[in-house]
């Protein structure tokens, strides 16, 4: 989606293939992020047969799945969807760092656009206000794939 002269123009992704990697951890949130991503891709004319969804345990596992999917050569872009909510220990910081750095490494090393739809929130209420991030991540990666 692009905004030109205050008019929304949807990108045409009808010829592209995508795989969305979704963490099962915090599934109440990640399922809504996935819905948002799928809705955004549909508005950009992406075909059902060109959209694959893969589920992994949590945010830490997302980069490995992205890397293997990128190496397959089957996809024009990827989308990472997850949700990490701060707890009482430093575990939150490590998980966020591993997920963020892993996704970045996949983009640069595997030369493939990856939409970053991994929420890193202080609490569940914050996460519930950000379901739109799934769609935004999908559109950002789609736009990069069209440039590539």
Torsion sign over Cα 110, 111, 112, 117: positive
Which two three-digit tokens encode residue 17?
A: 């293939």
List C-alpha distances in Å: 42 to 16, 84, 85, 121.
Answer: 12, 27, 29, 27
Confidence check: pLDDT of 102 > 60: yes
pTM: 0.92
CA distance 123 to 67: 29
List C-alpha distances in Å: 27 to 20, 64, 81, 125, 130.
Answer: 15, 19, 10, 14, 14
- Ordered domains of the chain (ranges, CATH): 16-50+58-143 (3.40.50.960)
Q: What is the pLDDT of residues 36-50, one digit of tens each?
A: 999 999 999 999 999
CA distance 46 to 145: 13
Nearest to 35 by CA among 144, 116, 124, 132: 132
Q: Range with the lowest mean pLDDT among 26-40, 51-65, 69-83, 86-100? A: 86-100
Q: Range with the lowest mean pLDDT among 2-16, 32-46, 131-145? A: 2-16
Q: How confident is the model at residue 2 (pLDDT cuts 50, 70, 90)?
A: low
**23 touches 61 (CB < 8 A):** yes
Q: Which sequence positions are flagged as catalytic? A: 91
Residue 115: count of CB within 10 angstroms of its CB: 29
Mean pLDDT, residues 109-131: 96
Helix or strand (DSSP H, E) at 62: helix 62-72
């Amino acid at each position: 989606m692009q905004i030109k002269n205050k008019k929304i123009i949807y990108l045409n992704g009808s010829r592209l293939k995508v795989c969305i990697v979704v963490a099962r951890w915090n599934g109440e949130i990640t399922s809504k992020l996935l819905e948002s991503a799928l809705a955004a891709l549909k508005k950009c004319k992406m075909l059902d047969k060109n959209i694959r969804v893969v589920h992994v345990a949590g945010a830490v596992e997302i980069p490995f799945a992205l890397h293997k999917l990128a190496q397959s050569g089957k996809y024009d872009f990827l989308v990472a969807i997850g949700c990490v909510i701060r707890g009482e220990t430093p575990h939150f910081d490590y998980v966020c760092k591993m997920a963020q750095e892993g996704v970045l490494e996949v983009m640069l090393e595997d030369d493939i656009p990856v939409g970053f739809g991994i929420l890193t929130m202080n609490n569940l209420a914050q996460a519930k206000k950000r379901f739109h991030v799934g769609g935004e991540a999908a559109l950002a990666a789609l736009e990069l794939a069209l440039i590539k």
